[in-house]
């Protein structure tokens, strides 16, 4: 997907700033291609992203909610406009080359506002959504996924759950102890499996 560095600097720039939407539409196109080839279906495809990857999957969810059986967003950067407007946030100066400065540039304000997942939740049948957050996270504060959850719950026309899993002891990453790592992986896989098998008849 554009925005990575796999195909050089131009490929990276093709998914930055005013071109960030390309990352999301590329992600959707990859899912659709796998579905067209028969590897998956919209009822079996679960999107998963971490931090800025949470921005990616939640942005793709807003654009095409019907293409996902579920969405998992770990410590997701989903309140993009408000965070990038916070000049006191320690990471904002470092992120401005990639995202732009909505305080100084009206064009940057407009394209960030058009992408930020929290601001772009709409009335639609959203898939099941699981967000994680760390109470001590100094990169993506817990209220970003909490605000997204509240907005999805308010506007979704489906009965799918929107869940927030808040760890009161973690920061941007969970503990690296094996028990914690395996426990988190088990929870996320269980959610994904539930999403991908919901409504299917039990195996005989």
Active-site residues, by number, are 51, 137, 172
Cα separation, 176 vs 29, in Å, equals: 34
Range 35-54 burial, b when 16+ CB lie within 10 A, else e: beeeebeebbbbbbbbbbbb
Under 8 Å CB-to-CB from 166, ≥6 apart: which residues?
Answer: 132, 133, 134, 135, 142, 146
Residue 68 near residue 162 (C-beta atoms within 8 A):
no
Q: How many CB atoms lie within 10 A of CB 59?
A: 24
**54 Cα distance to chain centroid:** 2
Q: CA nearest 129: which of 187, 46, 31?
A: 46
């Amino acid at each position: 997907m554009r925005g990575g560095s796999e195909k050089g600097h131009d490929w990276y720039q093709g998914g930055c700033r005013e071109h960030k939407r390309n990352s999301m539409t590329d992600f959707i196109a990859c899912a659709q291609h796998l579905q067209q080839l028969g590897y998956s279906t919209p009822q079996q495809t679960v999107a998963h992203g971490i931090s800025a990857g949470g921005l990616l999957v939640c942005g793709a969810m807003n654009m095409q909610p019907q293409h996902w059986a579920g969405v998992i967003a770990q410590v997701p950067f989903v309140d993009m406009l408000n965070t990038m407007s916070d000049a006191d946030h320690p990471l904002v100066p470092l992120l401005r080359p990639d995202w732009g400065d909505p305080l100084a540039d009206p064009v940057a304000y407009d394209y960030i506002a058009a992408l930020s997942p929290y601001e772009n939740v709409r009335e639609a049948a959203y898939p099941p959504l699981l967000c994680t957050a760390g109470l001590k996270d100094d990169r993506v504060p817990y209220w970003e996924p909490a605000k997204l959850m509240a907005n999805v719950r308010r506007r979704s026309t489906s009965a799918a759950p929107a869940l927030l899993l808040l760890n009161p002891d973690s920061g941007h990453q969970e503990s690296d102890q094996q028990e914690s790592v395996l426990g988190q992986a088990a929870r996320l896989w269980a959610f994904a499996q539930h999403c991908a098998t919901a409504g299917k008849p039990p195996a005989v």
